[in-house]
Chains A and B, each alone.
Chain A
Amino acid sequence: MNDIAKKLLKEVTGLDEMPKGAYSIRENSKSLAKQSSENIEIVSKKDNSGIDIIVKPNTKSENVFIPALVTCGGVSDLVYNDFYIGESADVTIIAGCGVGTGDSCDGSEHNGIHRFFLGKNSKVRYVEKHIGEGDGTGKRVIDPVSEILQEEGSYMEMETTQIKGVDSTRRITRAKLKDDAKLVIKEKLMTHGDQFAESSFEVDMDGVDSSVNLISRSVAREQSRQTFISKINGNTKCTGHSECDAIIMDHGVVKAIPEITANHLDATLIHEAAIGKIAGDQMIKLMTLGLSEAEAEAKIIDGFLN
């Protein structure tokens, strides 16, 4: 692994070296290193590129690392990863993608298609960071797709972060929830320059007492554009909430398109969206505490995306 790869790995996963337990590290469309643990098996797919991650029932408090790194220009990577989470298992998945094009003028692309099958009463925390680096004009593109199927009583928390660096992203997340299944999605996004990011969610709550909570916080700076689409369908007694909170700066543009559909009398669905520039009185308050204008702005943005 070269220095660019090491740096990207550290930023995506926080790891300085190979982790303990189960992991699969991918670099430039190839598997770089892979290891299973007693409870978590990682198997390469035979028909196309990607892996199956199989977690045994009742596995407790284990981590799986599956970062993908692209360390040069001119790479177009497409990977299919399937996660099979056994009944009552409790795991944390550290995923994410670092695309570094260096000073190359060729763009690079990583598209991960992740499918999650959560067994009954299982619990998954999925953490995904997108990092883009490089000074060249090559475009860094990341288009992730996540499909989530949650069995009864399962819980999934998905935290996704993309702060600058990625020129174009189209994220699609689809989920189907059975009885008592709960899904929490926390998205943090910052775009700048001419970047474009679209995040589209489609959640079907098919099970009684299922719930979804979708929280998006984003900042669009310079000429960047963002679109947030949330479709939530309440097909039975269930609760759904989506919240899109965005700060626009410079000439940034943010569009929020909610679509909440109650197909059942006992479906309770809420959508909230707030888009606007940093409030002037927030800046003034921090300046009266001694911060400069730039420091106040940075503090407000840091807190907002915290």
Chain B
Amino acid sequence: MLKLENISFEVENEKEILKNVNLTIEKGKFIAITGPNGGGKSTLARIISGVLKPTKGKITFNGEDITDLNITERANKGISFGFQQPVRFKGITVFDLISIAANRKIDTHEASQFLSEVGLCAKDYIFRELNDGLSGGEIKRIEIATIIARDTNFSIFDEPEAGIDLWSFNHLIDVFMRMHQDQEKSIVIISHQERILDVADEIIAMVDGAIVRRGAKEAVLPELLHCEDPKNCLNCQDVLEA
């Protein structure tokens, strides 16, 4: 479905942020990308969604070269991007944003269902402005609701768990699992959370702008923790058993 070939991203006078990344996400897959901060995960998400242009490489989506397409064009091809830090808007309501995301005329009942999916009581939120009056957790859940409303075949979420309380987080896993039931849809989640890594089909570990490992959780995590003997390592066992 999505193929990245030799993708690099450099900023002048700074180190290379992405180094020759090659990655294929197949249809129906649920992939988690993890790794230390500053490893290039968010940059990768921004390059996939078109927010950043790679300095080198090629991106193909459903067989079509989308490297030169802008954000809007990629969105309309079916790529969704959930922000790590959702944006606030004065005067734009939750209903407005969900309607834009759905890209068709929806009524408040339908919009409410998207909010219920992320555990928000619709009547309290549907006509709220997306301003500073909403907490970090609330706006994060609304962000995820916009991606559900878009209902595209490819979605990438940048740390969806950040800022969300434990109860909502459990709910969130269910949301991703429901999305994953659709074999036409691929989901990529950038996350540090064990629980998300647990439910993903595969894990990709990124360190210093490169993919260092891809595979099952048991194989990837020890690599990330720089452990030579995971079987006898307490750290690795803790992580693996969690």
Contact = CB atoms under 8 A, between A and B. Distances in A.
Interface stretch (A70-78, A85-93, A139-147, A289-297): A289-297
A245 B103 CA distance: 29
Nearest to B74: A288
Given A300-B89, A300-B92, A303-B89, A289 B51 contact: no
Interface string A267-306: 0000000000001011011111111110000011011111
B114 interface: no
Contacts, number: 61
A306 B51 contact: no
Which size class do A's interface residues fall under?
Answer: 20 to 34
B207 interface: no
Q: Provide the main secondary structure of the chain A interface.
A: helix
A303 B91 contact: yes
A287 to B, nearest CB: 4
Contacts of B91: 217, 302-306
B87 A289 contact: no
Contacts of A292: 72
B141 to A, nearest CB: 15
Nearest to B99: A289
A299 B87 CA distance: 14
Interface string B181-199: 0000000000000000000
Interface in B101-125: 101, 103
A289 B75 contact: yes
Nearest to A282: B87
Given A289-B100, A290-B103, A284 B89 contact: no
Interface string B32-54: 00000000000000000111000
A287 B90 contact: no
A291 B90 contact: no
B192 to A, nearest CB: 22
Contacts of B150: 289-290
A299 B100 contact: yes
A288 B71 contact: yes
B158 to A, nearest CB: 11
B90 A245 contact: yes
Contact of B72 (A293, A299, A300): A293
Interface centre among B81, B90, B150 (most CB of A within 10 A): B90
Interface string A167-190: 000000000000000000000000
Nearest to A245: B90
Nearest to B49: A288
A275 to B, nearest CB: 13
Contact of B83 (A285, A287, A305): A285
Interface of B: 49-51, 70-72, 75-76, 80-81, 83, 86-87, 89-92, 96-97, 100-101, 103, 146, 150
14 contacts: A285-B83, A285-B86, A285-B87, A286-B100, A288-B50, A288-B75, A290-B100, A290-B150, A293-B72, A303-B91, A304-B89, A304-B90, A304-B91, A305-B91
Interface of A: 217, 245, 279, 281-282, 284-293, 299-300, 302-306
